[in-house]
């Protein structure tokens, strides 16, 4: 029976496609279709090598261990993301950010006394404090130091010289240098304040390094204090502060007069009515010039789950204009220290207890779920009939029968 040539070509094309499909699938399954061909793997056992019945027991044991490891890893990845992404990344429990809650506390450090030549004296411990690492225009940084012996007893210390200089690199013009007057505060503690805008460093933008030389325990030592100074304010707080309920969440709204447009990163701490840290709220978005609003959100479900004593209080807000690919990378907004705004909300009425939903979250959960199913499928295929380990977050989608799937 004669056949239509067009139909033959169509079937031929389909046959070519069909014959290539398994190859395409196999390549894609192991992610082996990069823009450029990956290098040939070294000889030896590979994770996805075909499984042969005749493999020695130790090889099978190692393959089983790796497969089990993948099941645990993919399960942890999926389950932890599912749990932790109930709230948006911009509104997190305080307990997830323990080192971000008191940004205005001084930085305390202790180290063996450092002496010239790169050596140190372990018999003398230098204790230092630094009030700020990042310094906005008009702000002051204070430094202090004292020395202790191995038993915690004071070691007499005298500051012999302290110079603060802007750090410059390569062909950059050398930055000004100023002398800092350290004063003996008693009990062997010395301190000084750096106010760049009161010195020739006022217009310098970058790291100001203060090198302090001192004598303690009969030896000459030195210590370095760095602050990152931004001499110009890219924006100023207008003083307008309010709260709103948006999308079932509480928002603290702060007015910002933006002089330099760009990406602003602002963080605020939220305490409960007893002053206990409850949340860290972050704003990270692009703002145009002019009057703008920075919204710091306490997510509705976070309120329901945490059940804080109300009303909540916003305090200690800091932020900066992020300068992309630039060094220094930021211009600081004046920090708002202490209490900024107390919410009027006295109950949870009107706040949503729904989980955060977003394109990002859906994308991650879909991918992590796929990986989890695939890992379990490989282990099930390797050890048919052996029960799979329980998941940390309930039954795996697709059920036992579906656990052998999972390719892309």
Partner 1 sequence: MNRKHTLCTLCLLGAASFAQATDYTLWINGRNPGGTPGNYGDFRYWGPDSVPAGVNKKAVNWDGRSSIASQSGRVRDALDCFCTGNNWCYIASYSAGDLLLGYTLANYGGSRRQPRNAAPNAAGVCGASGANPQGGWNIKWVRVASGAAGGSEIADAGAWTTSEPLVRDLKVGTARAMYNHNATRGIWFYMYAGARGTAYSFLLPGQDDEVVAYHSSGAAAGSGARSLCNPGDWLCDDLRLGTAANQGGSTKWSYHSVEFRDDGEDYNHYGDGNWAGIIGVVRAAMATTAN
- Nearest in space to 332 (alpha carbons), one of 89, 74, 138, 202: 138
CB of residue 20 vs partner 1: minimum separation in angstroms?
A: 7
CB of residue 203 vs partner 1: minimum separation in angstroms?
A: 20
Which residue's CB is nearer to partner 1, number 17 or number 158?
17
Q: Which residue's structure tokens are 């009057």? A: 291
CB of residue 330 vs partner 1: minimum separation in angstroms?
A: 8
Query: Beta strand pairing status for 190-194 and 141-149?
Result: antiparallel
Which residue's CB is nearer to partner 1, number 228 or number 310?
228
CB of residue 68 vs partner 1: minimum separation in angstroms?
A: 12
CB of residue 354 vs partner 1: minimum separation in angstroms?
A: 18
Which residue's CB is nearer to partner 1, number 243 or number 302?
302
CB of residue 63 vs partner 1: minimum separation in angstroms?
A: 10
Q: Dmax over Cα atoms in the chain, in whole Å?
A: 110
212-250: burial string, b at 16+ Cβ within 10 Å, e else: bebebeeeebbbebebbbbbebbbebeeebebeeeeebb
Which residue's CB is nearer to partner 1, number 243 or number 315?
315
Cα 205 to Cα 135, 209, 228, 236, 326, distances in angstroms: 10, 12, 8, 18, 12
* Cα dihedral: 233, 234, 237, 238 (round 10): 110
Which residue's CB is nearer to partner 1, number 184 or number 327?
327
Check if the beta carbon of residue 312 is closer than 8 Å to that of residue 213. Answer: no
Which residue's CB is nearer to partner 1, number 223 or number 303?
223
Q: Peptide bond before 231: cis, by omega within 30 degrees of 0? A: no
State the Cα angle at 363 between 357 and 368, rounded to 5°: 110
312 secondary structure, DSSP code: P
């Amino acid at each position: 029976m004669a056949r239509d040539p067009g139909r033959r070509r169509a079937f031929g094309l389909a046959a070519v496609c069909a014959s290539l499909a398994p190859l395409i699938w196999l390549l894609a399954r192991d992610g082996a279709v990069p823009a450029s061909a990956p290098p040939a793997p070294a000889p030896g056992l590979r994770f996805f090598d075909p499984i042969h019945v005749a493999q020695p027991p130790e090889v099978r044991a190692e393959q089983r261990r790796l497969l089990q490891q993948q099941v645990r890893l993919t399960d942890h990845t999926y389950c932890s993301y599912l749990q932790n992404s109930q709230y948006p990344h911009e509104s997190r429990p305080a307990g997830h950010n323990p080192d971000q809650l008191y940004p205005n506390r001084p930085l305390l450090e202790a180290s063996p006394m450092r002496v010239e030549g790169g050596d140190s004296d372990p018999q003398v411990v230098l204790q230092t404090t630094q009030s700020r690492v990042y310094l906005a225009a008009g702000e002051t940084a204070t430094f202090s130091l004292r020395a202790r012996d191995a038993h915690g007893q004071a070691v007499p210390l005298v500051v012999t010289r302290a110079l603060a200089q802007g750090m410059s690199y390569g062909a950059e013009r050398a930055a000004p240098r100023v002398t800092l007057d350290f004063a003996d505060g008693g009990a062997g503690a010395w301190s000084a304040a750096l106010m760049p805008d009161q010195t020739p460093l006022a217009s310098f933008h970058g790291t100001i390094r203060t090198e302090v030389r001192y004598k303690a325990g009969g030896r000459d030592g030195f210590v370095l204090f760095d602050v990152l100074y931004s001499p110009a304010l890219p924006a100023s707080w207008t003083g307008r502060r309010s709260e709103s309920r948006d999308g079932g969440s509480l928002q603290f709204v702060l007015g910002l007069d933006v002089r330099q447009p760009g990406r602003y990163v602002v963080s605020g701490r939220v305490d409960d009515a007893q002053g206990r840290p409850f949340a860290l709220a972050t704003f990270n978005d692009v703002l145009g010039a002019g009057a703008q609003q920075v919204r710091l959100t306490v997510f509705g479900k976070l309120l329901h789950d945490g059940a804080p004593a109300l009303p909540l209080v916003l305090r200690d807000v800091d932020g900066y204009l992020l300068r992309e690919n630039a060094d220094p990378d930021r211009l600081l907004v004046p920090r708002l220290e202490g209490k900024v705004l107390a919410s009027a909300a006295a109950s949870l009425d009107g706040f949503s207890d729904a989980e955060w939903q977003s394109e990002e979250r859906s994308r991650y959960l879909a991918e992590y779920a796929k990986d989890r199913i695939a890992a379990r499928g490989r282990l099930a295929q390797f050890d048919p009939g052996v029960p799979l380990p329980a998941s940390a977050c309930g039954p795996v989608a697709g059920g036992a029968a579906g656990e052998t799937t999972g390719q892309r």
